[in-house]
């Protein structure tokens, strides 16, 4: 094992995600938008039983199974230290995001989303980490091919 920073980053993402969702659960009513930065950023609590963008809402069990496989695969890959640089950073962000949303699915049967931008689906901190992590992994692959 090369270092523990990817595990610490992943756990930090989970902590941030679960903390913000606990706040949203206590503070926001389902489906009632609250302006944060005018109409540009709103806080709107949504319960998403499906995948990204609410796809396949009746497939919670399948999303749990896929999430477990992703978490185990990413965790194993990061522990073995096979990735470096951007790939390692991206993998740690992906792992934290996947774990954060998996916790929701296991606890509630849905993912709690609450950040809303214009013309964009409502999302959460875990979703942001997943998108950023996937982007960093993609960049690391592109740079490797050059």
To the query of whether residue 127 is one of the catalytic residues in this protein, the response is yes
Residues 6+ apart with CB under 8 A from 44: 28, 31, 32, 33, 34, 114, 116, 122
**Which one is catalytic: 17, 39, 104, 127?**
127
- Catalytic residue chosen out of the listed positions 17, 39, 104, 113: 113
Q: d(Cα 125, Cα 10) in Å, to the nearest integer? A: 12
Query: Which residues have a catalytic role annotated?
Result: 113, 127
């Amino acid at each position: 094992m090369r270092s523990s920073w990817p595990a610490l980053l992943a756990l930090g993402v989970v902590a941030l995600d679960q903390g913000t969702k606990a706040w949203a659960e206590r503070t926001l009513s389902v489906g009632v938008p609250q302006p944060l930065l005018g109409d540009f950023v709103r806080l709107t609590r949504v319960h998403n039983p499906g995948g990204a963008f609410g796809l396949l809402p009746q497939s919670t069990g399948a999303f749990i199974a896929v999430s477990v496989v992703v978490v185990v695969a990413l965790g194993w890959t990061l522990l073995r230290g096979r990735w470096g640089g951007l790939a390692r950073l991206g993998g740690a962000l992906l792992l934290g995001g996947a774990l954060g949303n998996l916790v929701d699915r296991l606890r509630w049967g849905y993912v709690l989303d609450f950040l809303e931008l214009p013309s964009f689906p409502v999302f959460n901190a875990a979703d942001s980490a997943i998108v950023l992590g996937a982007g960093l992994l993609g960049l690391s692959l592109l740079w490797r091919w050059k």
